[in-house]
Amino acid sequence: MAKPETVEKMRRFAYNFAEKSGTVVNPNKEAAEAVIQGLAEHVDELGKPLCPCNFYPDKLEEIKRRRWICACDEMQIFKYCHCLLFTTEEGLPITEYLPEWHEGRQIYGLVKDPTPDKGRALSKPDKIYKALKEYVEERNLDIPDEEIRRFAEETAKKK
Ligand code: SF4
* Overall average pLDDT of the 142-150 stretch: 97
Which range of residues forms the domain containing residue 70?
4-156
Q: Is the pLDDT confidence value at 67 over 90?
A: yes
Minimum CA distance residue for ligand 1 atom 1 = 81
pTM for the structure as a whole: 0.96
* Overall average pLDDT of the 151-159 stretch: 91
What is the three-class DSSP state of 28? coil
**Type and span of the H or E element at 25:** strand 24-25
Of the candidates 134, 92, 90, 85, the one whose C-alpha atom is nearest the C-alpha of residue 110 is 92
- Number of structural domains (the chain) is 1
Alpha carbon of 71 to ligand 1 centroid (Å): 5
Residues near ligand 1 (Cβ within 6 A) = 35, 51, 53, 68, 70-72, 74-75, 81-83, 85-86
140 sits in the region (left: phi over 0; alpha: psi -120 to 50; else beta) called left
Cβ(59)–Cβ(50) below 8 Å: yes
pLDDT value of position 158: 86
Cβ(73)–Cβ(67) below 8 Å: yes
What is the three-class DSSP state of 86? strand
* % of the chain residues with pLDDT over 70: 99
Alpha carbon of 72 to ligand 1 centroid (Å): 5
Please give the number of the atom of ligand 1 that sits closest to the Cα of 39. Answer: 5
* Overall average pLDDT of the 112-131 stretch: 96
Q: What angle do CA 65, 139, 151 make, to 5 degrees?
A: 80
User: Could you tell me the CATH number of the domain that includes residue 140?
Assistant: 3.90.460.10
How far is residue 64's CA from residue 109's CA, in Å, rounded to a whole number?
32
**Type and span of the H or E element at 91:** none
pLDDT value of position 123: 95
pLDDT tens-digit map of 47-59:
999 999 999 999 9
